[in-house]
Amino acid sequence: MHLTYRRDLDILFLRWFRSPDSEQLREAYMQALEMAKEVKAAYWMFDLRSRGKLSPEDEAWMQETFFPALEDELGYPSYLANLMTPTHYAHLNAHYKLDAIGAYGKLVKLGVFISEQEAVAWLLKSRADR
């Protein structure tokens, strides 16, 4: 996993290079939250192409722990672009309504993309619209 903040874009990037176990996954997302607090990041890019799908337990952790912590600890709107492979995108689209994924809670907005350019464009537009 590689975690960086690009000041020129005002985007926090979390890139996975392989599929993590549950402990690594949770630790990485909490590190990203800590960095976001330090730099006051509101725009995130999660490159999930090498990470793959989550286990049901990790999916529950994201929904029940990570996203609420993000809202509680940041306290301002956050925009999370999720970059994934076409296969992962198709899986999500088949099992979830992707248009319904757009928001988590009051402060977290989610976008799902298969193109990094589209994901960055969405983040930049979200900043302009804010």
Q: Six-digit token pair at 106?
A: 């009051």
- Identity of the amino acid at 127: R
pTM above 0.95, yes or no: no
Residues 6+ away with beta carbon under 8 Å from 9: 43, 120, 123, 124
pLDDT (tens digit per residue) in 65-123: 999 999 999 999 999 999 999 988 887 777 766 555 566 678 999 899 999 999 999 99
Gap between the Cα atoms of 3 and 31, Å rounded: 8
Q: Is 85 helix (H, G, I), strand (E, B) or coil?
A: coil
Q: Is 121 helix (H, G, I), strand (E, B) or coil?
A: helix
Predicted confidence at residue 14, as pLDDT, reads 96
